[in-house]
């Protein structure tokens, strides 16, 4: 409820800010110094509604006198021409007209910047309307023009959009390259950007190529998430949850046999079939939206020229006005004997043709833990070798909780150790690999595993791409340095997704950044990607969802004194009858005392944490305080309701363990 109030306050204020600034400008307009800034206001107005306090502040800051000037005293007909020429999108409008509002709402929804000239607020409005009638035969408002092309009234504009013919008008070709935009990498970000740009009328190609793994694994269009990331991972996570469900089922009266076999082959087949249909779906979408898809490895010759090589070694040179690099990353191999020959990575695991058997995962990334989690639940003997901490970058208390739970579920952890050597003991599917490792505690030791999965990190695919030929500057990590508009040091080369320095390696982030970039490049939009308060979830058997700052980062940023942490263990109702432990699940809110207990961190370990965190993330985005969480009425009985009743602070040292209701 409080969150809602909060939002409507912003809305009201934004409207007030917009309209007061608007009328201010209309006075200016009376002197026939109109436009541009009107559109500025409309855009800001909308930003004011949808995003956080930041834009509210923007809205209240008055647009100043930068407004484009049409010369004073021009005859109305010439004035109309000036207006049309000066703005990409202009709507001759009246402030009270509902049809005009419909058209404005459409452009706002599309994220396209426009100028609205409110004729009722201009002294010479009638004369302008007459001149428009003479020019277009249309007497009424709205009357829309895009890049000088007359679109027409409300129905004309809406119908034209419906038919897919509105946005292409936005784009006028100003160069001699083959394409307006070439996207290198057909993954989450690249596909989103290419489809959006094509819908906005740009001529677009996507160049995608998958280098096989050392084992020879390869896949289709769609990038990491679809083929070897989120999608297969979450499906295998589901297989693990079903295993837990089967265990619980007996307590709920199901006569489930004590021993049930799992078929790895069936799981892999189901997962891969689904992926296959997604690969095809992407090809259909690209073809349908007139994006050319080229299945070829791509390198830069110069900032506008690319060289591609396809599977058969056929080369092609492609030129483009703008180039978007969305090549993502691939798993890192350590420089150790046997690593490439004998180990696999997440790139191979989800399509492995045989059950992995006794498995070692090397690494403590979310990928290592997620894979360990589902493999253990499927009944495999699983060990994770961790050099130092779990889930670097995440809240460490939560990371330990996740690992503790996994340990209780039978996953073995070797901490403080690194592998030094991999040797083949037996060939086969699976074979047997001897892994030698060292740790401070145990010195040198070794063990044998059927499968070794390396998950020690990912490297950007920028190494052999000739990015220096284009003048693109890379960070030490090999990732591309971009500004807040995803533009690299080469002005016509952009980058999004996993390949950018200081980004977030998440699919929805790549997609959002790609869409917004396309709208800025081809839709006249100005909205930039907001990398703050992006929610995420680690899909270990007990999920960990979070949004905002970790406890460590909050303390660094605000100081320990100013950070108040509310926390609570909870025992999900569904765990009770199944006799699952009471102490597995835990939630905490991190608040800033001096800012009215603004919630800056949200963390939960428990079932369905992904689903829970997604919803609450909007509260953080809207700047919710602890009081807003307290005012929220829970849904009973759920796990998520724990966030509405948190009273114990960490500072108090009081018991925060689970209690019944």
Ligand X SMILES: Cc1cc2nc3c(=O)[nH]c(=O)nc-3n(C[C@H](O)[C@H](O)[C@H](O)COP(=O)(O)OP(=O)(O)OC[C@H]3O[C@@H](n4cnc5c(N)ncnc54)[C@H](O)[C@@H]3O)c2cc1C
Residues forming the site for ligand X (CB under 6 A):
184-190, 207-210, 223-225, 228-230, 233, 297-298, 326-328, 346, 367, 461, 465, 497-499, 505-508, 510
In the complex with another protein, which residue's Cβ is closer, 220 or 331? Answer: 220
d(CA 547, CA 534) in angstroms, rounded, equals 6
In whole angstroms, the minimum distance from the beta carbon of 235 to ligand X comes to 11
What are the counts of helices (DSSP H) followed by strands (DSSP E) for the chain? 20, 26
149 contacts 187 by C-beta, under 8 angstroms: no
Q: Does 277 bind another protein (CB under 8 A)?
A: yes
Nearest distance from residue 177's CB to another protein, in Å?
A: 23
Under 8 Å between Cβ of 152 and 143: yes
636 has catalytic annotation: yes
* Choice from 133, 252, 254, 280 touching another protein (CB under 8 A): 280
Closest to ligand X by CB, 328 vs 569, is: 328
Residue 189 binds which one of another protein, ligand X, none, with CB within 5 to 8 A depending on kind?
Answer: ligand X
Residue 276's binding partner, choosing from ligand X, another protein, none, with beta-carbon cut-off 5 to 8 A by kind? another protein
Q: Are 382 and 372 in contact (CB under 8 A)?
A: yes
Please report how close the Cβ of residue 502 comes to ligand X at its closest, in angstroms: 14
DSSP state for residue 508 in the 8-state scheme? H
Identify the H or E element spanning 520.
Answer: helix 507-522
How buried is residue 614: exposed, middle or buried, by Cβ count under 10 Å (0-12/13-18/19+)? middle
Question: Least distance from C-beta 501 to ligand X, angstroms?
Answer: 13
Stretch that binds another protein, among 155-163, 271-279, 359-367, 587-595 (CB under 8 A): 271-279
β-bridge mates for residue 418, sequence order: 438
Q: Is 218 exposed, middle or buried (0-12, 13-18, 19+ CB in 10 A)?
A: middle
276 contributes a contact to another protein by CB under 8 A = yes
From the list ligand X, another protein, none, which binds 277 (C-beta under 5 to 8 Å, kind-based)? another protein
- Asked whether the beta carbons of 223 and 190 are under 8 A apart, the reply is yes
Decide: is 279 part of the binding site for another protein (CB under 8 A): yes
Contact 464, 299 (CB under 8 A): yes
Residue number with CB closer to another protein (283 or 528):
283
Report the distance separating Cα 9 and Cα 561, nearest Å. 30
Give the residue among 53, 41, 37 at the shortest CA–CA distance from 16.
41
Q: Give me the residues paired with residue 184 across strands.
A: 207, 325
User: Is residue 273 a contact point for another protein (CB under 8 A)?
Assistant: yes
Catalytic residue among 175, 237, 354, 636: 636
Give whichever of 44 and 458 is closer to ligand X, judged by the CB atom.
Answer: 458
By C-beta, is 279 or 489 nearer to another protein?
Answer: 279
Partner whose binding site includes residue 287, from ligand X, another protein, none (CB under 5 to 8 Å by kind):
another protein
Using the rule CB under 8 A, give the single segment among 146-154, 284-292, 354-362, 599-607 that binds another protein. Answer: 284-292
Residue burial 357-372, b: 16+ Cβ < 10 Å; e: rest: bbbbbbbbbbbbbbbb
Segment lying near another protein (by CB under 8 A), choices 279-287, 425-433, 529-537, 627-635: 279-287
Choose among another protein, ligand X, none what residue 280 binds, the Cβ cut-off being 5 to 8 Å by kind.
another protein
Using the rule CB under 8 A, is 287 a contact of another protein? yes
The tokens describing 276, both together, are 């296959």
Q: Quick one: what does residue 534 bind among ligand X, another protein, none, with the CB cut-off 5 to 8 Å set by partner type?
A: none
- Separation of alpha carbons 465 and 629, rounded Å: 49
Residues tagged active-site:
636
Which residues lie near another protein (CB under 8 A)? 273, 276-277, 279-280, 283-284, 287-288
């Amino acid at each position: 409820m409080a969150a809602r109030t909060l939002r409507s306050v912003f809305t009201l204020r934004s409207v007030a800010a917009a309209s007061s600034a608007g009328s201010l400008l209309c006075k200016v307009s009376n002197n026939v110094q109109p436009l541009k800034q009107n559109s500025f206001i409309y855009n800001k107005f909308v930003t004011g509604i949808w995003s956080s306090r930041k834009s509210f502040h923007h809205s209240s800051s008055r647009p100043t006198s930068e407004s484009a000037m049409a010369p004073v005293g021009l005859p109305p007909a010439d004035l109309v021409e000036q207006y049309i020429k000066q703005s990409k999108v202009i709507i001759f409008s009246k402030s009270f007209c509902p049809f005009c509002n419909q058209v404005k709402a459409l452009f706002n929804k599309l994220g396209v910047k426009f100028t609205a000239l409110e004729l009722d607020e201009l002294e010479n409005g009638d004369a302008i309307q007459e001149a428009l009638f003479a020019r277009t035969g249309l007497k009424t408002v709205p009357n829309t023009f895009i890049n000088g092309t007359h679109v027409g009234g409300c129905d004309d504009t809406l119908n034209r959009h419906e038919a897919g013919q509105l946005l292409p008008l936005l784009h006028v070709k100003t160069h001699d390259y083959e394409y307006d935009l070439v996207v290198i990498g057909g993954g989450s970000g690249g596909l989103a950007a290419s489809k959006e740009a094509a819908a906005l009328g740009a001529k677009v190609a996507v160049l995608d190529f998958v280098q096989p793994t050392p084992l020879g694994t390869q896949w289709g269009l769609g990038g990491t998430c679809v083929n070897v990331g989120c999608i297969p991972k979450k499906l295998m996570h589901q297989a693990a949850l079903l295993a837990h469900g089967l265990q619980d089922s007996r307590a709920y009266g199901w006569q489930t046999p004590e021993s049930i076999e799992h078929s790895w082959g069936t799981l892999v087949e189901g997962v891969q079939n689904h992926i296959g249909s997604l690969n095809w779906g992407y090809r259909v979408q690209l073809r349908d939206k007139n994006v050319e898809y080229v299945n070829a490895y791509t390198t830069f010759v110069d900032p506008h020229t690319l060289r591609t090589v396809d599977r058969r070694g056929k080369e092609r040179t492609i030129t483009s006005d703008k180039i978007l690099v969305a090549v993502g990353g691939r798993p890192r191999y350590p420089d150790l004997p046997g690593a490439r020959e004998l180990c696999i990575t997440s790139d191979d695991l989800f399509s492995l043709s045989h059950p992995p058997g006794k498995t070692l995962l090397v690494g403590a990334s979310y990928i290592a833990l997620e894979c360990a989690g589902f493999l253990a639940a499927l009944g495999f003997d699983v060990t994770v070798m961790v050099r130092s901490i779990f889930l670097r970058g995440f809240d460490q208390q939560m990371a330990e909780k996740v690992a503790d739970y996994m340990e209780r579920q039978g996953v073995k952890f070797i901490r403080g150790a690194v592998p030094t050597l991999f040797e083949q003991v037996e060939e086969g599917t699976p074979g047997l690999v001897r892994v030698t490792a060292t740790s401070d505690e145990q010195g040198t030791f070794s063990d044998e595993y059927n499968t070794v999965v390396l998950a020690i990190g990912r490297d950007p695919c920028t190494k052999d791409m000739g990015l220096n030929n284009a003048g693109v500057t890379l960070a030490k990590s090999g990732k591309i340095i971009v500004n807040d508009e995803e533009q690299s040091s080469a002005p016509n080369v952009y980058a999004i997704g996993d390949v950018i320095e200081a980004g977030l390696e998440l699919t929805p982030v790549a997609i959002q950044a790609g869409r917004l970039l396309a709208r800025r490049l081809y839709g006249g939009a100005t909205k930039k990607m907001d990398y703050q308060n992006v929610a995420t979830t680690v899909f270990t058997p007990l999920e960990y969802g979070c949004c905002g700052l970790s406890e460590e980062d909050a303390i660094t940023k605000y100081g320990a004194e100013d950070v108040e942490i509310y926390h609570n263990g909870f025992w999900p109702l569904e765990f009770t009858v199944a006799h699952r432990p009471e102490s597995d699940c835990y939630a905490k809110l991190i608040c800033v005392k001096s800012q009215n207990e603004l919630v800056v961190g949200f963390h939960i370990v428990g079932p369905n944490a992904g689903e829970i965190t997604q919803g609450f993330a909007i509260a953080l985005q809207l700047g919710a305080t602890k009081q807003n969480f307290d005012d929220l009425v829970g849904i009973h009985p759920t796990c998520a309701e724990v966030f509405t009743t948190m009273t114990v602070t960490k500072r108090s040292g009081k018991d925060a363990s689970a209690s019944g209701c």
